[in-house]
Amino acid sequence: MEDYYVSYALLTEKQSVTAERIYISRAMTPLGEAGKELCRFETDLPDFQTFIKYRKHQIVTCLMRQGVLVRSYETSRNAVISREAVWITLPPVGIKVAFNDGVVIVREVKSEK
């Protein structure tokens, strides 16, 4: 299993997506023991790096089921909203990834107690 960090941010203004960032990077040091399985994907891609390149949204969607932060900002004058912005954020989270025979398994990292 390989260790990775994943983070995600999406900004909407006036109900339109104006910015999106996805970061998936290999951890420089081991993150700890693998915990429960979060998701599993079947793929015909040759390795995990290629999977990240073409299907990173699948991993983000999987991790968002665990919870996200939502921040909303509004600017109003005379009871009329002139600007509304919503940030949806997945803070950096450590995961364990196994890639074997066309199957990607994403597991959480057990928290130290």
Residues 6-46: pLDDT tens digits?
Answer: 999 999 988 899 999 999 999 999 998 999 999 999 999 99
pLDDT above 70 (res 112): no
Q: What pLDDT score was predicted for residue 81?
A: 66
Q: What percent of the chain has pLDDT over 70?
A: 96
- Round to whole Å and give the CA distance between 44 and 54: 11
**The dihedral sign for the CA sequence 64, 3, 110, 7:** negative
State the Cα–Cα distance between residues 64 and 108, nearest whole angstrom.
Answer: 13
The amino acid sitting at 38 is: L
Query: What's this model's pTM, rounded to 2 decimal places?
Result: 0.83
Q: State the average pLDDT for the chain.
A: 90
Region 49-73 average pLDDT: 92
Q: Is 67 left (phi over 0), alpha (psi -120 to 50) or beta?
A: left
58 phi, psi to nearest 5 deg = -65, -40
pLDDT digits (tens, 9 = 90+) for 62-88: 999 999 999 998 887 777 767 788 999
Q: Using pLDDT thresholds of 50, 70 and 90, give the confidence band for residue 109.
A: very high
The residue ranges of every structural domain in the chain are 2-109
What number is the average pLDDT over the span 99-103?
91
